[in-house]
Chain A
């Protein structure tokens, strides 16, 4: 699975321009599902299971939408000056303090380094702290004049960092949410390898434009119109020095999201995930995230409503070029997801209590 993760995180795919990463995922997924399509915004939607949900042990199956977003945060060129320096604005939640000295790669292959204005900070900065603002930064692509610069206003770049395998821990840019993507793909592989048949009709959605406002999941969910939605995304950790106060840490299992800034998970869904984790002896943590939300919010508010939740992969340093996850957590997430999807879901198929 590590080589899959490496391939996914090292492929470029900023929000709105995901075709390269989509192609990589499509190649992995197509042999494992019944139907693959791409919608108007570029979401990759893969259906596994018949045209209708099936049945297991007398219990009817339901239509489930899973979502992991394939886009990553990045930068977009806003101005090329006479000397070929490239000014930019962020796409998605890029943190200014992770930028200076960072390396980026544009969609057309050009690489660059992020520099900062030095003396301007003292003279013209509005902010009192020492973190430069995006207006004070630029990308140096190694040319001396605008005419040598092959970039234009509107060109997109992502952070450039190779995948690092530390054994238990894995580090890369774009773990958010290529790790969720890897979990979905690996789940499909497990279904294949273990010859599991799910009673449910499963839609694996590899969604676009999550980082700029959960946009892809909105349209994908409208099209799929599921009975239940489950996002697979990263969540923050509270286990670093003077870090945020959060009860989630690396190495303690995948997290079952109770609430984040944009969504309260359906409590019945949370209970279902907890019970299943216990039954399958998968370690888990309960998650409340302050600051941030996921595709699950979009799914929940679609049409007449969809019970929704999120299976989270704990991750340190989110939205930096070096996001860190625990490989054990990732494997346990797959194990839990397989278990969740292969059994009947009582709370949906029994009358509302």
Chain B
């Protein structure tokens, strides 16, 4: 269980904002290369790796995705040595004042996000949450130095270092969704030495937080028979209404709703029940807000599933997960992948035959 911890900590310390994932991608590539048969990078910067199956061609394939891009900020202008920002991905500006950040200019520069005193701001934003456009980054350098080192378009990422809370809980930024990269890595580790019938593709997708671009294009390129998006979901905690959340450490969630193929859900649920792995149904009445949303409607359509890892304080620099949830999900997905055979698709393609329309 602790084998994954060093990798997870590295993952959430490495920069890789949406559209600029290459630093963290290199890390993931190093982790996945020894565990897979083929590895390559997509045109939009997603990482794809393949564990080949043994069944005769044409072989069906399962795709597991976790998105590797982080939310963060970008430099829009420099004013007297202070830096103005725009968001990359969805950032709640209320968590920003006082946050330690790294400005990735000509070199990495430590900075802090500051909220100017209210008399320097328009009257409408007094007494209410200050929008991002009024916040500044102070890097502590002279304006001339800042002009030399920082440019419009440079990235700013959270500098929060990982914190272990006891044995089982990890805190840091970008556990959304690098926790899923951890899950996939665990899955690949479990499958070492085990053979597969189906091909197993794993993808660390890019740009989920902005356009779902990685998911759309990776699914198009790989055309999997089935696709699973692994993403974080809302864990119960302060400020989050209990009916929308799931407890930390009590297992993963299985998505349910229009983005999800109902029989694919059932197949995963049945396996989890058989293996006595705790899980909960996560209702997603309309859209899932995950890579599953994109992958489902690519080309001729793909049966999709979503596996959720509960996480507290999503989209803040202090996201929290339970390591047990990550390793259990990884093992479960390995077992799921290993039991796929030539009969599986029949289970999915049996839509209700002609039945009487009296209920």
Do the two chains bind? yes
CB-CB under 8 A from A246, the residues of chain B are 76-77
CB-CB under 8 A from A287, the residues of chain B are 152
| A267 in contact with B216 (CB, 8 Å) | no
| A301 in contact with B213 (CB, 8 Å) | yes
Closest CB of chain B to A301's CB: distance in Å?
A: 5
A positions within 8 Å CB-CB of B:
245-247, 258-259, 262-267, 270, 286-288, 290, 297, 300-301, 303-307, 352-353
CB-CB under 8 A from A290, the residues of chain B are 76, 86
| B76 in contact with A288 (CB, 8 Å) | yes
Give the complex CA separation of A258 and B218 in angstroms: 23
Give the complex CA separation of A304 and B299 in angstroms: 11
Give the complex CA separation of A286 and B86 in angstroms: 14
Contact string against A for B residues 78-101, beta-carbon threshold 8 Å, 1 for contact and 0 otherwise: 000000101010000000000000
Number of interface residues of B (CB under 8 A): 30
The SS class assigned to the A binding surface is: loop
B positions within 8 Å CB-CB of A:
18-20, 22, 41-46, 74, 76-77, 84, 86, 88, 133, 151-153, 207, 210-211, 213-214, 216-218, 220-221
Closest CB of chain B to A38's CB: distance in Å?
A: 25
Pick from B20, B84, B218: contact of A245, CB under 8 Å: B84
- Known contacts A245-B133, A270-B153, A290-B86; is-contact A303 B44 (Cβ 8 Å): no
| A304 in contact with B43 (CB, 8 Å) | yes
CB-CB under 8 A from A286, the residues of chain B are 151-153
7 interchain pairs, CB-CB under 8 A: A258-B153, A259-B153, A300-B213, A304-B43, A305-B221, A307-B43, A353-B22
| B216 in contact with A301 (CB, 8 Å) | yes
| B42 in contact with A247 (CB, 8 Å) | no
| A297 in contact with B211 (CB, 8 Å) | yes
| B44 in contact with A300 (CB, 8 Å) | yes
Closest CB of chain B to A298's CB: distance in Å?
A: 11
Closest CB of chain A to B51's CB: distance in Å?
A: 21
CB-CB under 8 A from B84, the residues of chain A are 245
| B20 in contact with A304 (CB, 8 Å) | no
- Known contacts A264-B88, A303-B217; is-contact A288 B152 (Cβ 8 Å): yes
| B43 in contact with A258 (CB, 8 Å) | no
CB-CB under 8 A from A301, the residues of chain B are 211, 213, 216-217
Give the complex CA separation of A307 and B43 in angstroms: 6
**A258, A270, A305, A306: most-surrounded residue (chain B CB, <10 A):** A305
| A305 in contact with B152 (CB, 8 Å) | no
- Known contacts A288-B76, A288-B86, A352-B41; is-contact A304 B220 (Cβ 8 Å): yes
- Known contacts A259-B86, A301-B213, A352-B41; is-contact A264 B18 (Cβ 8 Å): yes
